[in-house]
Amino acid sequence: MKYTVTCLTPTLVGDGHKLAPIDYMVWKDQVNILDQTRIFRLLAKGPRLEGYLRQLKTATRLDFASWGGFAQNYAGRRIPFESAVYSEYWNRAPVESLSIPTFAEGVQGSFLPGAAVKGALRTGLLVAGLRENSVTELASRYGGAERPPRRPGELMEEQTVGSRTRFFGAADSAPVPASVFKVYLVRTSTLQSKQGGYQVAWKQSPRGSVNRADESTPAFVEMAVPGTIFEGIWNENQFLNGPEVRRILRWREPVKREAIYKAANQYAAKQLDAHAQYAAWTGLAALQKQIATLRESLTQAESSGGCLLSLGWGAGFLGKSALLDTTAENARKILQAQNTYASAIRSGLPFPKTRRIVFLNNQPASLPGWVRFSAE
C-alpha cells in the first residue's frame, strides 16, 4: 500500500540539522549552500586557503566582499527566499537567528520521515481515547507531591493507546526534488492584555516583545511549499486484528484505518478551534482566512477518506499535547507543575500564548506544518 502526504501550508520535518551562517551565502535573493569540498580543493592550489580557514574559524558569517564569488560559482544547492524582501531582513538580523533549520535529507535527496507521520497519528489516537477521569487521575498525582513524576503521561498513554499503533507503519517517503523547497520568514507572535481583551505582539530575542512585526527577531526556515506531495509505503498488520491475537494484546475491538482517520480529524478539529480563537484575539486577518481554508480541507478529508495532520517544526504545544483544553482546572494544575510552563500559567493569559507564524509575501499569514494524509 502507499500513503500520500500533501502539504497544505509550508512544512518542515527536519533531522536536527541547521545551516550555520558560514555554511551559506545570501546572493540574488536566495540561500546558496557552499560546496566546501570543492572550495577547499580550489584554494589548496593557491595562497588563500589560510585566510578562508581563519574566517571559517572566527567569523560569524562569511565576508561577501572577499568570498562572494563562491556563492555564485561553488554552491551545491540554491534555495530561494519566499519573498525577495527577506534578503534585507537577513542582512539586519542578529547572527544568532541566522542558522537555518533544513528538511530531512538522505543520500538521494530530501524526504519525509515516516516517524513524523506515525507520531502525529498516534497523538490523534491518544486525544480521541482520552477521558476526563484519566486527566483527573493524572492531576491528582501532582497534589501535594514534593517531586512531580518525570513522565506523567506515560501510564495514561499506555492505557489509552497501548500497542494499537503496531497495527500500522509508515516508511520514509521517496525523495522529492529540491525545487519544492523555499526559505520562509517565520516570527513568533504572543498575546498581551489590552482593555479587557488581547492584542498581538511579536517576540524579540533574547526576551521581551514589540508591537511591530518588523522589529521582532526573525527566523529563516527551509520548508516544503504548499502543494508538495510526499509518497511512501504504508503497511497494515491485519493479523493483529485476529480474535486470538487481540485477546493477547487486550484490544477490545479491531483497529481500522477509518478509526485512525476519525481520531486524527477529531484532534485536528480541536487544534483548529484553538488556533481560530487565537487568530480572532490577535486580529490577524490573513491567518483567520487560512484557518478557515484548513477547516474546509478537514471537511473534505472527512468525506472523501483521509485526515489532516499537524506535524514537524513549529507545531508548538498544541501539535504534541493531549491537553488541548488548557482552561480546564485539571489541565492547568498539571501544566503549572511543569517548570517549562509554570510562569506562563501564572500570568493568567490564555495558554499557549505564542504561535510561530509563517510570513507569506511579508505578511503574517500561515501556520506551519499542516498536511493532508491518505493511504490506499
Per residue in 160-169, pLDDT (tens digit) is: 888 999 999 9
Cα 311 off chain centre by? 5
Q: What is the mean pLDDT of residues 144-152?
A: 66
Q: What percent of the chain has pLDDT over 70?
A: 98
Per-residue confidence (pLDDT) for residue 197, from 0 to 100 = 87
- State the Cα–Cα distance between residues 122 and 165, nearest whole angstrom: 7
Q: Which residue has the higher pLDDT, 178 or 153?
A: 178
Per residue in 98-135, pLDDT (tens digit) is: 999 999 999 899 999 999 999 999 999 999 888 888 78
Checking if the pLDDT of 146 tops 70, the result is no
Checking if the pLDDT of 364 tops 90, the result is yes
Q: What is the mean pLDDT of residues 210-215?
A: 93
Q: Which residue has the higher pLDDT, 11 or 38?
A: 11
Q: Where is mean pLDDT largest: 1-5, 71-75, 339-343?
A: 1-5
Checking if the pLDDT of 177 tops 60, the result is yes
Rounded to two decimals, the pTM is 0.92
Per-residue confidence (pLDDT) for residue 145, from 0 to 100 = 56
Q: What is the mean pLDDT of residues 317-324?
A: 89
Q: Contact at 8 Å (CB) between 365 and 359?
A: yes
A 10 A CB-CB count for 374 gives 17
Where does residue 363 rank: exposed (0-12), middle (13-18), buried (19+ CB within 10 A)? middle
A 10 A CB-CB count for 88 gives 10
Contacts of residue 368, Cβ cutoff 8 Å, sequence gap at least 6: 9, 10, 11, 12, 186, 221, 223, 312, 313, 314, 315, 356, 358
Per residue in 56-94, pLDDT (tens digit) is: 888 888 888 888 888 888 888 999 999 999 999 999 999
Per residue in 252-264, pLDDT (tens digit) is: 899 999 999 999 9
The structural domains of the chain, with segments of one domain joined by +, span 2-14+110-375, 21-93
- State the Cα–Cα distance between residues 76 and 61, nearest whole angstrom: 18
Q: What is the mean pLDDT of residues 183-207?
A: 91
